[in-house]
Amino acid sequence: MQRPSDWESVSPKIRKTKPPRLHLADLVGEGPPVVMLHGIASSSVTFQNVIPLLEGTHRCIAVDLLGFGESPIPEDGEYTIGEHAEAIHQTLKKLKLREPAILIGHSMGALIAARLAATYPKKISKVVLVSPPIYLAPAQLTSRRDRQIMDFYLRAYHYLRENPRFTLRAARTVERFLSIPKAMDINERTWVPFIKSLEHSIESQTTINDIAATKAPIEIVYGNFDQFHSEGVLKIVGRMHGVRVHRVRGSDHLIGKRLARAVAVAAVSVRG
């Protein structure tokens, strides 16, 4: 099967229309483009500590994902990885970028970044996956502890989807304590994009395959206190060709200032 070149459209067969153009929350700086994709139930505010570190040398493009931030919420959206990636593709195509972009994806945005890099290899120069929730089926993991952790995540996500009252109340409580305001934004407006993205993009994912198909170098950056990662899976991914893993002490899932510095370094570093 021939891969698409440039930013040609590869629309999912189940959709009869192109996905809507997404909101570009930040478009600052000059230089090689850096495209930033936030995670589930969040927005481009995710990168408020990263952009100041890169805008002096790069063109920083922060995108609100389909269904989140100020981007549209299509009524027929299923919010699969492919659908998220195609919406980003359509949006970036309008910018007419003249050189390959560095992709920085956080959390679910990391999974989408991997799909974009695998699909459009000529347009991506590097991929930085920040706090990526890369999961496998529990039975695919050797360690009993890794299997238990993976099973816990999947059961927890299912519970969150099935219990909106609990999830919305918990999200409002958690949001008050986050170091980045509005880094978690689960509400009645974004509920459907949230539960569908959770089910169709995080619980059901092919990220391992996307990483294997990616030609660009991949940097994985995560904090040792990350609440949503799988150490067992990251060890597997770290042994894959073209992948380097960076573990940042004292950081959790959000991109705080310490993690932001590691992300900026990973984005611009040149491999020997």
- pTM tops 0.95, yes or no: no
- Give the pLDDT of the chain (272 residues) as one tens digit per residue: 333 333 333 334 444 567 889 999 878 999 999 999 999 999 999 999 999 999 999 999 999 999 999 999 998 999 999 999 999 999 999 999 999 999 999 999 999 999 999 999 999 999 999 999 999 999 999 999 999 999 999 999 999 999 999 999 999 999 999 989 889 989 999 999 999 999 999 999 999 999 999 999 999 999 999 999 999 999 999 999 999 999 999 999 999 999 999 999 999 998 76
> For residue 21, how far is the Cα from the chain centroid?
18
* Sign of the dihedral defined by the CA atoms of residues 179, 258, 22, 215, in that order: negative
In a domain, 13, yes or no: no
In a domain, 125, yes or no: yes
Residue numbers of the domain that contains 159: 24-268
Q: Which residues contact 98 (CB under 8 A, 6 or more apart)?
A: none
Taking residue 269's Cβ as centre, other Cβ atoms within 10 Å add up to 14
d(CA 87, CA 179): 29
In a domain, 56, yes or no: yes
d(CA 31, CA 118): 24
In a domain, 55, yes or no: yes
pLDDT at 252: 96
In a domain, 228, yes or no: yes
Q: Which residues contact 31 (CB under 8 A, 6 or more apart)?
A: 57, 58, 59
pLDDT at 185: 85
| Tally of structural domains, the chain | 1
Task: Report the CATH number that the domain containing residue 61 is assigned in CATH.
Answer: 3.40.50.1820
Q: Which of 116, 126, 115 is nearest to 92 (CA)?
A: 116
In a domain, 4, yes or no: no
d(CA 242, CA 105): 17
pLDDT at 13: 43
d(CA 71, CA 133): 23
Residue 220 token pair: 């994985």
